[in-house]
Amino acid sequence: MEFEYWQLLLFPAFFGLGWAAARIDIRHLVKESRSLPRSYFQGLNFLLNEQPDRAIESFVEAVKVDPQTVELHFALGSLFRRRGETERAIRMHQNLIERDDLPDDLKLAAVSELGQDYLKAGLLDRAEETFERLRGTALDEEAKRNLLEIYQLGKDWERAIAIACELPDVASRKEIAEYYCELAAAEMIRSRRDEASAHLATALETNRLCVRASLLQGDLHAQAGNHRAAIDSWQQIESQNPAYLALVAQRLLTAYRTLDRRDDGLRLLRGYLENYHSLDLLDVVFQLVLESEGPEAAYTLVRDELRRNPTLLGFDKLLEARLFNASPEVRADIDLAKGIVQGYTRRLARYRCDNCGFKARQFYWRCPACGGWETYPPKRTEEFDLTP
């Protein structure tokens, strides 16, 4: 195909059409922006400058000027909720839902936002009712996610299990096993051992590595007086996750004492301490060695452990061991040193969430901050800092 010179005239024509189209779009954008209230742009500016209070004031003014601005209603409701002003957020989203001219997709979004408002306000019944309205709609999965959170907050574990099975990408088998453990723990409080045992069996079928199920199984056996079976259940934790052995160390010690097999218990726990360093485990073994072998053996145990894993919490235990054989003059110095060390160890003796870093003195199966299950390994903060 031969090139014709007249075709060169097409290039400026194409550029001219592009320029005209751009001018039309720019004029349309300018026209739309001029129709928006000035307070709208002021609110955006305050948001960009992280001034949410002044942004809300500007957006409220903009809504008064132009009540049809749906996007502003959504933005304003979200800001109210983030600030904790849930009543105002609820009113804002209820007004949107009641509008007859609102398209269906925006009305569904408003219902979802209203459910979030109720959830933030702690009105779980209303939140549940609101998200149930979204079942079977385009926001079905989002509704299920929120319903799962509501059931967990309300400790409605049977319904949590049911809806978690519909969300395999959201709720893992580990979490579902924890729900069964929650059911089992509730049955144990009511002394309904058969029902509790059934829930624990299902938990282990769901997740064979569920440490909590093995721990509770051991507790069930111990309550029934079957301490050998309890020991077997607790020993399973070593193959599931040995970091959690610290949680059952005292239980194992009590069971071995009841069976008059304290030496066997000491050998088992010393083996655990040698293979799986834990400050909580050290504390239990220390007390057992102190009772069975005396202060000098307990001191030697802590000293050897400190050489392998030097920690301030371990050093505090070493000072405690030294107190037993110390003279009155030396005892005063050790007490002084122990008091100084404890001033530093209080903040090191906390548990820390692997997921969000939240610290607490109490051990939790579910993190109070991020809601993660089994994210609190029973290790103290100092142990985390020393882990390579």
Task: Determine contact, residues 344/315, Cβ cutoff 8 Å.
Answer: no
Position 63 pLDDT exceeds 50: no
Which positions make up the binding site? Answer: 353, 356, 367, 370
Residue 226 has a pLDDT of 95
What mean pLDDT comes out for the span 296-300? 83
Position 331 pLDDT exceeds 90: no
Task: Give residue-wise pLDDT tens across range 341-365.
Answer: 666 666 666 778 888 888 888 888 8
pLDDT, mean over the chain: 79
Beta-strand pair 359-360/351-352:
antiparallel
Query: Helix 279-293 crosses helix 262-275 at what angle (to 10 degrees)?
Result: 150
3-state helix, strand, coil in the chain (%, to 5): 75, 0, 25
Q: How far apart are CA 376 and CA 358, in angstroms?
A: 9
Contacts of 151 (CB under 8 A, 6+ apart): 157, 159, 160, 163
Write down all domains in the chain, each with its CATH number in brackets. 68-168 (1.25.40.10), 172-207 (no CATH), 239-348 (1.25.40), 350-388 (no CATH)
Residue 6 has a pLDDT of 47
Residue 290 has a pLDDT of 82
Query: Residue 57, class by beta-carbon neighbours within 10 Å (0-12 exposed, 13-18 middle, 19+ buried)?
Result: middle
Q: How confident is the model at residue 4 (pLDDT cuts 50, 70, 90)?
A: low
Task: Please report, for the chain, how many H helices and E strands are present, in that order.
Answer: 21, 2
Calculate the alpha carbon distances from 233 to 29, 77, 120, 210, 269 in Å: 70, 51, 40, 12, 15
Residue 31 has a pLDDT of 42
Residue 61 has a pLDDT of 54
Which positions make up the binding site for Fe cation? Answer: 353, 356, 367, 370
As a residue count, the chain comes to 388
Task: Give residue-wise pLDDT tens across range 35-49.
Answer: 455 555 555 555 445
Higher pLDDT, 141 or 335: 141
The alpha carbon of residue 321 and the mean position of all alpha carbons in its chain are separated, in whole angstroms, by 38
Q: How far apart are CA 133 and CA 51, in angstroms?
A: 35
Q: How far apart are CA 279 and CA 233, in angstroms?
A: 22
Position 215 pLDDT exceeds 90: yes
Q: Is 91 helix (H, G, I), strand (E, B) or coil?
A: helix
Q: How confident is the model at residue 69 (pLDDT cuts 50, 70, 90)?
A: low
Q: How far apart are CA 56 and CA 77, in angstroms?
A: 9
Residue 353 has a pLDDT of 83
Residue 123 has a pLDDT of 92
Task: Give residue-wise pLDDT tens across range 138-182.
Answer: 999 999 999 999 999 999 999 999 999 998 888 889 999 999 999
Task: Determine contact, residues 138/105, Cβ cutoff 8 Å.
Answer: yes
Position 28 pLDDT exceeds 70: no
Task: Determine contact, residues 120/106, Cβ cutoff 8 Å.
Answer: no
Position 247 pLDDT exceeds 50: yes
Question: Cβ of 299: how many Cβ atoms within 10 Å?
Answer: 22
Q: How confident is the model at residue 59 (pLDDT cuts 50, 70, 90)?
A: low
As given in the structure block, the two tokens for residue 168 are 């395999």
What mean pLDDT comes out for the span 232-246? 93
Quote the percentage of the chain above a pLDDT of 90: 36
